[in-house]
Structures are given as structure tokens and as C-alpha cells.
Amino acid sequence: MKFSESLYESVKEIWESYYTHPFVKGIGNGTLEIDKFKFYMIQDYIYLLDYAKVYALGIVKADREDIMQGFSSMVNNILNGEMSIHRSYMKRLGITYEEIENTKASLANISYTNYMLAVSQIGGLPEVSVSLLACMWSYLEIGRNLSKNPGAVDHEFYGEWIRGYISKEYVGCTKWLIDLVDELSENLSPKDKERLKEIFINTSKYEAMFWDMSYNKEM
């Protein structure tokens, strides 16, 4: 079994809870209140700025040019790819950059990004990679799950969000990160692998907290 597969098994129950979460389900069936989605978009935009910084740490920690290039591409994909979805919704929702700049990150948001940055700064490239994986991979799985709902992909408002996370580009980026985690874990001790699994479980729990925070508009 690949290490990434064992990671998935360790959080399977947590990830499956995402699919039934009222926020995620609301996106899938088109019933999520717009004000909750707007709250989420602003918080997620703030989150992605720190998420990109963790990828930038990958460039610093890497000692191979190809891995440095990979992390560099991921930073670009977040700032100019994934966040383009957010910018599109910002226009549709009337969200200005000034509004984002004047909005504080929620407690759940701060806790999540600070945790990723902490374990990445203290640890090595495996810690950086695993701390990033739950967010990226779970969004792909959520997108795939929601795309099974009749009409979800073509929904006039939420369809764009779903399509973004099942796009060829997003799938490719996710596969790159999964493959990197498998490569980096090949020669690690069982103790080191358990430490990485702990990070993966914790970040998966933070993802659940982020959905709760968004649905309840908790600061």
C-alpha cells in the first residue's frame, strides 16, 4: 500500500463527513444561502494567501531543482489559478479587495494556517508536503462527489466552484502532490510516518472546522 493510500484510510471517516456537511451539500444541490457562501469566499481567500506561503516554504526546503520547480508552479497555480475562481465570485458577489483587506481571519482560519506554517517551518519537506495535502486532495474528492448530483456542475451559481475543483489542471496539481508525498515517505522510519499521519489527520480535522466556521459564519 502506498503511503498516500494509508493516509487516506486514516481520515476516510472525516472526509466522508464533508460530503454530508450542510455547507457542502448546499453547494451540491444549489440551496446554500448566498451570504454564507460570501462569508466562506472571503475567509477562503485569506486562507489561500497563507496556503501559498506554505508552498513557498517547499521551495526553500527542497534540494532538487525539479521539486523546487513543482512548488513554484503550485504557488503560481494558487495565486493565479485557484484564486481566479474566488476573484470571479468576488465580482458576482460584489466583494471588493478593500473588504477582504478589512476582514480579519476567523479563529478557525488562523488556527489552521498557523498550524500548517508551524509544522512546515519546524519540519522538513515531508512535513511541508503532508500539511498541504488534506486541503488540496479533499477538495478534489468533494468536487467529484458533488459532480454526481444531477445538474450540479451546470448550476448557474455554484457550478463554477464545482468545475474548478474537478478541472484537469486541479487534478494534475493534486496528483503531483500525492506522488511527491509517496516519494518523500519511501525511506522514512515508521515513527516518522506516524508523525506525518498525525499532521494529515489534524489538517483534515481543520478542514471540517473550516466548513463549520463557514456555515455558521463564526469569527
Selected catalytic residue, list 82, 127, 173, 207: 207
Q: Whose grid coordinates read 486541503?
A: 135
- For 81, other C-beta atoms within 10 Å of its C-beta total 16
Selected catalytic residue, list 82, 127, 135, 173: 135
Could you confirm whether 207 is annotated as catalytic?
yes
Phi-psi region of 106 (alpha: psi -120 to 50; beta: other; left: phi over 0): beta
Q: Could you give the CA distance from residue 199 to residue 193 in angstroms, rounded to a whole number? A: 10
CB 158 within 8 A of CB 32: yes
DSSP conformational letter for 106? P
Burial label for 102, CB within 10 Å (0-12, 13-18, 19+), is exposed
- For 31, other C-beta atoms within 10 Å of its C-beta total 10
Q: Which of 129, 136, 138 is nearest to 195 (CA)?
A: 129
Residues assigned a catalytic role: 135, 207
